[in-house]
Structure 1
């Protein structure tokens, strides 16, 4: 089916794919997009949960479907993009949102190589697969907006989550570079850098990893001290910024202060990060002990 027009739609009558759409930020983005008139595809390994979220959106008068997606599988991702364009005639937005993390407080010296590989495969590899699947489709139709979810951890140090930080810095770099390349081709690129958002993610998520001796509830308490906002509040502010085609989107806004401070004085911020990591080990009693699986397999979630 040929594209219905040669211009991106904001957001009425647009089409968007949201990975990690079954819960947290992904679900909130999907709900807000649908409320603004966008047809949404909630893509997630948690298909039953994604279908429930899509059903609620339809019950509220929006257009939504659910799809099972393993973002680490490029063929599966490309098929989803192809099927969506064939059905709706367009792809205005791809939200590369799925992600996983290790628990709070585990130093990199305790990682296994498979810990590195899984986080890299999902957080960075999943984003690359999304770009590879959608970018040329958007170029061919003459419009589109790729929105990658990174994190404040992609802008500043966050000891205790080194593999996660590694991938999120890479997603920020990918987004900046692709934005410069894509502008002349009619495609927009933005990167979301959330502060702390009150989602299952701050407890490790359904399929994340946690530090031995640090429960999900303890992790949540530690993150609560950083004043998390709701995913619904985040989605509204983030989508307003996406509509303005902002390149880097930091929500809540006060987190920009940390980014600016790090850019002004990296050594000062690194000293603070070092102290915070030491304090974290003392407060949890974990001492950065070995990681353990929360589930038999890890799935993209954010």
Structure 2
């Protein structure tokens, strides 16, 4: 079996049998392609079923030497494990060459967040006299109100909006659906955008049900959301590096700091494991110190 054949079959397996999102499929395939490129550059004529554990160790060492961080190395190894497990499942391989490989320790990463005053500062920097400003305010309000991933925001559907009930239906990782509350401010600015901007666009075929669109009536790209936020942060005078995920982190952090139940936040974020959500309990150490000072009998 050649590399192109193996990669094509692996891609089909991830998409059809595992029902992974296009972004996840792309990430897994990219991990395998990296390995193939390494073998080509090393002038090693090794097929997918001939890869050995020592070769994989050399590959990971090369990634480290190129400056790839521990998290990225672990991510790549995870993709390779999935690939070789697929080959075993298809009876194309007997032994898993990744079996004895351990991912580098990544530690627990504490995500960047914005305080509530910083959220207000960001929103205040938006020029609401323009169509783009109305769209930016609506999408920021929705992201912060519901903790959506940027991919979930771009794929948000009009048919999945339940404004009267105060919920939106979101399609997350692995095509898993969940209902997420949406706040009154978010709904208000969303209505401003839908009636004042979106309703006047020349909407292209296939984009009729999408909430957020480009100025040309096409699906809104993730890159557009990233660049819009970066530009807005500069205008607001915020020195932090801000991305769509920053708003998601802030959403979770502010809920937990306000006393929200961890299990409820897990459901709203669409985390498969509660341990992923628990990271938000370690964010604001000043806040935790304040809680101890105010409420602990021995403080």
Does TM, scored on the shorter chain, surpass 0.5? no
Structure label with greater radius of gyration: 2
**Higher RCO (C-alpha 8 Å, min separation 6):** 1
Give the structure with the higher percent strand.
1
Q: Which TM class, normalised by the smaller chain length?
A: under 0.3
Using the size of structure 1 for normalisation, the TM-score is 0.23
